[in-house]
Amino acid sequence: MSSIRNNALQQVREDDFVEYFLFPGASLGTVAADEDEALENCDPESAAAKSLGALLVEVNKLAKEFCQRYIWHRDGFKVVARKGGDRQRRLLIEASGQDGDGGLEADAPLPSHLYGISHYGDNIQDEWFIVALLFHLTRRIPGLVARAVDSDGEFLLIEAAEHLPRWAANPERAEGRVFIYEGELYLIGGEGEEEELSFERVFRELKGDGRTRYVG
């Protein structure tokens, strides 16, 4: 009996995680095919590979400064570089089989990015500290776009509930439409829209060429 209880508790704890994705500013406007090709070929001397590597160095530097006095309950903040074009490396919320009306294309490959996942156990403060760090990073690094999801999906909308447009009150409608850019939270899309989002469109609208809705 105790073994069953321990396994159940461990499963609950393993649900306490946050995933985060950092897309470089070079991707704004379009997903750079040359960047993805360079990373696919593992060419360490290519400009694109160097660009993602430089972003990783800058993010780690800023994160170290931001977190230097913070004591983590379990996992700290850590990101790794991921090449673009891999359809198996989708956002957890899409890969989990949750079907929504719209949001990011379920089978769309991600552009090259930095990825991290942290388990916070019983201390949800770690999750919100990582969110604060993501806002900080997008303020400090020009063009950087971030996303964060946890086992509940678009958890950032919970804190912004009073500012949401009516259509976004349905969690399924808002899935895959929440981004952090320039230190602010954005909700991409519009009322009655069921079109799936491509990353090209997300980056384009974050530049201001579309119907980007600010969640303040």
Q: Which residues contact 89 (CB under 8 A, 6 or more apart)?
A: 82, 109, 110, 115
Tell me what pLDDT residue 106 has: 53
Residue 146, pLDDT > 50, answer yes
Give the rounded distance of the alpha carbon of 96 from its chain centre: 15
pLDDT tens column, 88-112: 344 444 444 444 445 665 556 788 8
- Token digits for 67? 């977190």
- In the structure, what pLDDT confidence band is assigned to residue 28 with cuts at 50, 70 and 90? low
pTM for the predicted model, two decimal places: 0.76
Residue 59, pLDDT > 90, answer yes
How many Å apart are CA 83 and CA 112, to the nearest integer?
4
Tell me what pLDDT residue 165 has: 74
Residue 212, pLDDT > 60, answer no
